Amino acid sequence: MVQKNVWYTKDHEWVSVEGDTATVGISDHAQAALGDITFVDLPKPGKVVKAHDSLAVIESVKAASDVYAPVGGTVCAANDTLGAAPETINQAPLGEGWLCKLKPFDAAGLAALMTAEQYEAFLAES
């Protein structure tokens, strides 16, 4: 399941943009590979990241995995509902399972990411 108007990384993170805010999460492919997610260590608002910096850690029954920032920016919100319900990422990775929001963010960094169509092709080749 790949959404339009969303950009993807080769590490299976996604970013969507609404106005001057970027929302970040992991792809459906990533959540499926991780299995049942049991814990999420989210970034604190105010944290400044560059593209490819570690942004969060997701723990599952299989492994713990870093989530990397698809673009640079400042964390303005974290999805605190994931603390009590990390499985939301498994259920809705491209919706209610978002991890954090960046504002401001480096919009120029979107050019280095894959479109939905490019990501689908990337997954097909993998």
- Map out the domains of the chain as residue ranges: 6-107+114-125
pLDDT of residue 126: 85
**Is residue 38 pLDDT above 80, yes or no?**
yes
Count of other CB atoms within 10 angstroms of residue 7: 22
**Is residue 2 pLDDT above 70, yes or no?**
no
pTM value?
0.95
Say which CATH topology domain 6-107+114-125 has.
OB fold (Dihydrolipoamide Acetyltransferase, E2P) (2.40.50)
**Is residue 77 pLDDT above 60, yes or no?**
yes
Contacts of 32 (CB under 8 A, 6+ apart): none
| Mean per-residue pLDDT, 53-71 | 97
